Amino acid sequence: MTVVDCTQYAGELRELSARLPQIPRADLYAFLDSAGTAATALPGPLASALDTFNAEGSQDGHLLLRGLPVEDDAALPPTPSSTPAPADRPLLTMEGMLGLVGRRLGLHTGYQELRSATVYHDVYPSPNAHHLSSETSETLLEFHTEMAYHLLQPNYVMLACSRADHEHRAATLVASVRKALPLLTAEVRERLFDRKMPCCVDVAFRGGDPDPGAIARVKPLYGDPRDPFLGYDRELLSPKDPDDVEAVAALSKALDEVTEAVYLTPGDLLIVDNFRTTHARTPFTPRWDGHDRWLHRVYIRTERGEQLSGGERAGDVVAFTPRA
């Protein structure tokens, strides 16, 4: 795991965050523009770590910023129990960090069908969550490349932590294709590379049909054959051909073998390279006491993988087209 210790920059980062509009949802475009300006003034070593990760990726496919400024637990509002956040909710420090870091990397993107088309998502446990939802808690949220079936799939998923779960059991798991690839035989790689496989989509993208089936086609491996991108979803990817089923099983096993666990704690910001990894979350037990686990999530698009065609702004909301 690659960790950037940001403790020494906390003061500077607090100041940058204080320069941003303090009611971000009042005018999110303006907020993200302002974050874009502030992101040019990030502390040097942090800025270079982000720029290098953005340009080259990394072996383990994620970057953990630790020791960022964050409110004391007592100063935070209660962990939300509904979504989206009220438009007048004041900026939380970790949301400020997601603004700064995200704008250093690319463009924050909302997804029309998801979370009322908002850009900033609260991730918190919810009773009776659908088993594929980030609102699950007592069950394992299985490996998924975020929206692997979406033509405008985000390049990064960023998760910033305001509250951990009480027992510190919830781990965010990340498995990197750069680590898994050497564990695959040449035959398996060849079978998975550039081969479109049927893939279901998350509930939000089903257009009200409870089970539209595999309406997308996803390639498990694609891009540069020596350093491929990964599209892997344990629940949604639905290969039918027996050779495909077998190859995906081999990939699945390799991903399990290289899995790394990140226990997010307040002041952590995890950047997940969503083109080279799949991620998951282990079970934990909520107490429903207003202090349950609380993350903030944004999606970032960059030039890589043709996710942008020119003229986009940070804060744009995009509509669903399945990969086909």
Ligand X SMILES: O=C(O)CCC(=O)C(=O)O
Contacting residues toward ligand X, per CB under 6 A:
123, 134, 141, 146, 157, 159, 172, 279, 281, 295, 297
CB of 246 to Fe ion, least distance (A): 26
CB of 287 to ligand X, least distance (A): 17
As a whole number of angstroms, the distance between CA 119 and CA 84 comes to 10
Q: Which does 153 bind (CB under 5 to 8 A by kind): Fe ion, ligand X, none?
A: none
As a whole number of angstroms, the distance between CA 232 and CA 147 comes to 10
Minimum CB distance to Fe ion smaller for 21 or for 133: 133
Orientation angle between helical segments 44-56 and 93-105, nearest 10 degrees? 50
Residue 131: partners with Cβ closer than 8 Å, 6 or more residues away:
139, 235
Burial class for 161, CB neighbours closer than 10 Å (0-12, 13-18, 19+): buried
CB of 272 to Fe ion, least distance (A): 8
Query: What single-letter amino acid sits at 185?
Result: T
Minimum CB distance to ligand X smaller for 178 or for 281: 281
CB of 22 to ligand X, least distance (A): 25
Q: Which does 109 bind (CB under 5 to 8 A by kind): Fe ion, ligand X, none?
A: none
Which helix H or strand E contains 15, and what residues bound it? helix 10-18
Six-digit token pair at 58? Answer: 């990394």
Q: Which does 155 bind (CB under 5 to 8 A by kind): ligand X, Fe ion, none?
A: none
Q: Which does 123 bind (CB under 5 to 8 A by kind): Fe ion, ligand X, none?
A: ligand X
Residue with the closest Cβ to Fe ion?
146
CB of 281 to ligand X, least distance (A): 4
Which residue from 264, 273, 268 is spatially nearest to 52, judged by alpha carbons?
Answer: 273
Q: Which does 4 bind (CB under 5 to 8 A by kind): Fe ion, ligand X, none?
A: none
Minimum CB distance to ligand X smaller for 121 or for 195: 121
CB of 139 to ligand X, least distance (A): 12
Minimum CB distance to ligand X smaller for 146 or for 233: 146
Instruction: Using the structure block, give the residue that is written with the tokens 């079970």.
Output: 283
Beta bridge partners of 218: 197
- How many helices (H) and strands (E) are present in the chain, helices listed first? 7, 16
Minimum CB distance to Fe ion smaller for 122 or for 146: 146
Name the site residues for Fe ion (rule: CB under 5 A): 146
Q: Is the peptide bond before 84 cis (omega within 30 degrees of 0)?
A: yes
CB of 113 to ligand X, least distance (A): 15
Six-digit token pair at 186? Answer: 């040449």
Minimum CB distance to ligand X smaller for 219 or for 281: 281
Minimum CB distance to ligand X smaller for 132 or for 214: 132
Q: What is the DSSP annotation of 135-187?
A: T--SS-EEEE-TTTTBTT--SEEEEEEEE--TTS---EEEEEHHHHGGGS-HH
Which residue from 201, 214, 299, 197 is spatially nearest to 251, judged by alpha carbons?
Answer: 197
CB of 121 to ligand X, least distance (A): 7
Minimum CB distance to ligand X smaller for 126 or for 307: 126
Q: Which does 295 bind (CB under 5 to 8 A by kind): Fe ion, ligand X, none?
A: ligand X
Q: Which does 60 bind (CB under 5 to 8 A by kind): ligand X, Fe ion, none?
A: none
Query: What single-letter amino acid sits at 149?
Result: Y
Q: Which does 141 bind (CB under 5 to 8 A by kind): ligand X, Fe ion, none?
A: ligand X
Six-digit token pair at 115? Answer: 């979370």
